[in-house]
Amino acid sequence: MSSTPTTASEGRASTPGDPTASPAQPVRSVGDLVRAAVSGWLGTALEFMDFQLYSLAAALVFSQVFFASSDPGMAVIGAMATYGVGYVARPVGAWYFGRMGDRIGRKKVLFYTIVLMGTATTLIGVLPTYSQVGLLAPALLVLLRLLQGFGAGAEISGAGVMLSEYAPVKRRGLVASLVALGTNCGTLFASAIWAVLLVVVTEQQLLDWAWRIPFIASALVMVFAVWVRLNLKESPVFEARDDVVDGEAVGHEEIAAGEAPSEAAEFKQAPSLTVKSVAVAFLLRFGQAGNSGMIQTYLITFMTVFLLLDKQLSTEVVIISSLVAFVTVPVVGLLGDKYGRKTMYTIMSAAGLVAALPCVLLIVSGQTGQVIVGYVVLHNLGVMSLASMENLTLPEIFGAKNRYQATGVVREVAAIVATGATPVIAAAIVSATGSWIPVAVIIMFFSGCALFAAIWMKEVAGRDLTDPNPAM
């Protein structure tokens, strides 16, 4: 069974100042919306700080700090593999915390995930190195990556769900794009720290101790995010669910015993998922996540190790592209509100597919200006524009009954295949062939996956998020 998406006027809105809001639905002020937006932004920023901190560290120092090998190529593959290990725990975390979030609410779970994820990120900065403890060093790094992944698996999906359930119906795309801006801010902050380090310390100092600074500094973001989330109100959509009593969803046992409202039984009977809803969400995420792994992770290593470009240039292109994305992300979010998610996904993924080959050629040229242009276009089309819509579109696809869990699991299963494995596969293929062509082909493949899903999907913009049914 599937349902047809409803418009805001047909369903119950969940936002401050919306005249169609249901009297049964808790009212949230503009201040509450701002706190929810800041909370989502901070959590996502922290997650992507870790993402970019490790990406740059893997490209610049981790192959020497944690992996002893006479073959630089094998050391890089080892560093990329440890990066990928973090994605193994993400689907488990998405399932565990997502299920919890659909049962006890978004607020509590988002507090748990930020503490777990932030603590693990900070502890990487105090790990011993391979020269100090041998194989124990990469083993401890793997353990912390697993803990990071377990918390991060439900972090960005929870932030997207929370913002989509808070935002005004006609501005959901713009508000939810703040989650994507969090990814951008985290990437920019991490890249800026590394750029400064590369200028002010020697290469030996970087290997000896300076690489620890970015990871330890991430604790500041975690503390602020925890403070914001302690003052955050629960999602009004969650509280308005027919099966939620006193802030928690009633169980099937309580319904069978007649201890729950009659509406709760009807809510529980709604279909949890459909094949199409899962497949569309998976492919949309798969395309964006694959491009993210290639462009934000592997491409930096490719430029420094394969093309032998200056390390400083590798950090500069990330910073410049992240600054450009401060325009890309909200503009795409606004256009998604005006023209729909389906239309914008189709346009942006098609543009990313067409641009892949010429942009990689610009990067391979090795000329500073061309490298910057190629990376900025690839990153903004293939990663940031899709991320702007993804954090809202996936929650809109799934119903209120299991939105958090479904969004998180689909996101992370797609990510473990795409983002987690792709940098390792790309590194191995490029090392074996000595060619740049596989880089362009892989990016084109992921953009094609997103394009296929965009053409296949139904429009979901403006649907009633209190509906327990999936959108397609």
Q: Is residue 237 part of a domain?
A: yes
- What's the rounded Cα separation, in Å, for the pair 160 and 393? 9
Nearest CA among 91, 109, 92 for reference residue 100? 109
Q: Is residue 464 part of a domain?
A: no
- Its domain, for residue 274, covers 30-246+259-456
Domain count for the chain: 1
Instruction: Check if the beta carbon of residue 386 is closer than 8 Å to that of residue 380.
Output: no
Confidence at residue 24, expressed as pLDDT on a 0 to 100 scale = 57
Q: Is residue 22 part of a domain?
A: no
User: How many angstroms separate the most distant Cα atoms in the chain?
Assistant: 71
Continuous segment of H or E residues that includes residue 17? none
Residue 245's DSSP bridge partners are 248
Confidence at residue 4, expressed as pLDDT on a 0 to 100 scale = 39
Q: Is residue 147 part of a domain?
A: yes
Nearest CA among 443, 141, 432, 414 for reference residue 291? 443
- What's the rounded Cα separation, in Å, for the pair 378 and 362? 11
Q: Is residue 20 part of a domain?
A: no
Supply 294's token pair: 């290639």
Q: Which residue has the tokens 């109100």?
A: 233
Nearest CA among 372, 174, 377, 373 for reference residue 291? 377
Q: Is residue 65 part of a domain?
A: yes
User: Residues 184-223, buried b or exposed e (16+ Cβ, 10 A)?
Assistant: bbbbbbbbbbbbebbeebeeeebbeebbbbbbebbbebbe
CB atoms < 10 A from the CB of 4, how many?
11
Give the three-class secondary structure for 150: helix
* Length of the chain in terms of residues written: 472
Stated pTM of the model: 0.80
Measured over the CA atoms of residue 170, residue 173, residue 174 and residue 175, the dihedral's sign is: positive
Q: What's the one-letter identity of residue 418?
A: A
Measure the CA dihedral 363/365/368/369, to 10°.
Answer: -80
Q: What's the one-letter identity of residue 161?
A: V
Supply 311's token pair: 């390390």
CB atoms < 10 A from the CB of 74, how many?
14
Q: Is residue 364 part of a domain?
A: yes
Confidence at residue 268, expressed as pLDDT on a 0 to 100 scale = 78
Instruction: Check if the beta carbon of residue 434 is closer than 8 Å to that of residue 233.
Output: no
Measured over the CA atoms of residue 439, residue 444, residue 445 and residue 450, the dihedral's sign is: positive
- What's the rounded Cα separation, in Å, for the pair 241 and 166? 14
Q: Which residue has the tokens 């094949």?
A: 275
Give the three-class secondary structure for 84: helix
Confidence at residue 75, expressed as pLDDT on a 0 to 100 scale = 64
Q: What DSSP character marks residue 245?
A: E
- Cβ-proximal residues to 283 (8 Å cutoff; 6+ apart), any chain: 414, 449, 450, 452, 453, 456
Q: Is residue 8 part of a domain?
A: no
Confidence at residue 358, expressed as pLDDT on a 0 to 100 scale = 96
Confidence at residue 44, expressed as pLDDT on a 0 to 100 scale = 82
- What's the rounded Cα separation, in Å, for the pair 207 and 61? 6
The CATH number of residue 67's host domain is: 1.20.1250.20
Could you say which residues of the chain have pLDDT below 70? 1-25, 59, 68-80, 83-84, 256-257, 259-260, 420
Q: What's the one-letter identity of residue 168?
A: P
Instruction: Check if the beta carbon of residue 106 is closer than 8 Å to that of residue 403.
Output: no
